[in-house]
């Protein structure tokens, strides 16, 4: 994708942000100390190319998204090199300084996707599925996942959450660890009772 769009791809995947939320992120949306983003508005692009700025898709869309720490240098670099300079200015702008266009970004996305061998039907929006699945794999509670993704319903969250073999293995290991801990505690309690 090149350095200008690298952060957008990373935020799509690791922050589960919607494209229209990414389009409206501002310099003041970024908290480098907390490594977080404050999502307060969205700017979907209409079929005529015009952007309509307003509230996020749902009430739950207004949120603070905490990012993995490895993204902090990426945020800092993007702010220095590519974001507009005023505090209220856009985080993502095109090469000529205008708000990014879906069509221009889409061409770059398709080219990069082909170059790395991703399936042709893998859309940028699918990174949101990736991010939600990664977050779920940490063992997060459903409500935490809903807040992170800006979902107002459990049904919406479940659409974007996928189970993986890795997660299923982690669940089994978690159950195993819990049962073993309970058995150790039970055995210790029995030994203590016998000694008394």
Judge contact between 12 and 124, C-beta under 8 A.
yes
Per-residue pLDDT tens over the stretch 146-191: 788 787 777 766 665 555 667 566 666 767 788 888 888 888 877 7
Among 1.10.443.10, 1.10.760.10, 3.40.50.2300, 2.40.160.10, name the CATH number for the domain at 3-119. 1.10.443.10
Sorted by where each begins, the domain ranges of the chain are: 3-119, 163-195
The rounded percent of the chain whose pLDDT value lies above 90 is 35
Please give the pLDDT value at position 157: 63
Q: Taking residues 127-156, what's their average pLDDT? A: 79
**DSSP assignment letter at 26:** B
Are 51 and 45 in contact by the 8 Å Cβ rule? The answer is yes
Angle at CA 177, nearest 5°, toward 171 and 179? 105
- Asked if 21 contacts 61 with a C-beta cutoff of 8 angstroms, the reply is yes
> What pLDDT digit, counting tens, does each position of 37-68 carry?
999 998 888 888 788 888 888 787 888 999 99
């Amino acid at each position: 994708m090149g350095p200008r769009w690298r952060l957008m791809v990373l935020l799509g995947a690791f922050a589960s942000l919607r494209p229209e939320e990414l389009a409206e992120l501002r310099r003041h949306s970024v908290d480098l100390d907390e490594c977080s983003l404050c999502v307060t508005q969205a700017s979907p692009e209409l079929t005529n190319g015009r952007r309509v700025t307003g509230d996020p898709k749902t009430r739950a869309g207004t949120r603070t998204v905490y990012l993995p720490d490895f993204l902090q240098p990426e945020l800092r670099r993007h702010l220095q090199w590519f974001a507009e300079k005023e505090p209220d200015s856009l985080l993502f702008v095109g090469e000529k300084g205008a708000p990014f266009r879906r069509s221009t970004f889409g061409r770059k996305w398709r080219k990069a996707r082909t170059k790395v061998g991703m399936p042709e039907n893998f859309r940028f929006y699918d990174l949101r599925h990736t991010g939600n699945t990664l977050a779920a794999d940490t063992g997060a509670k459903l409500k935490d996942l809903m807040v992170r993704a800006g979902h107002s319903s459990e049904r919406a969250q479940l659409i974007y959450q996928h189970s993986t073999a890795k997660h299923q293995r982690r669940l089994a290991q978690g159950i195993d660890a819990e049962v073993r801990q309970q058995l150790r505690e039970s055995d210790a309690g029995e030994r203590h009772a016998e000694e008394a």
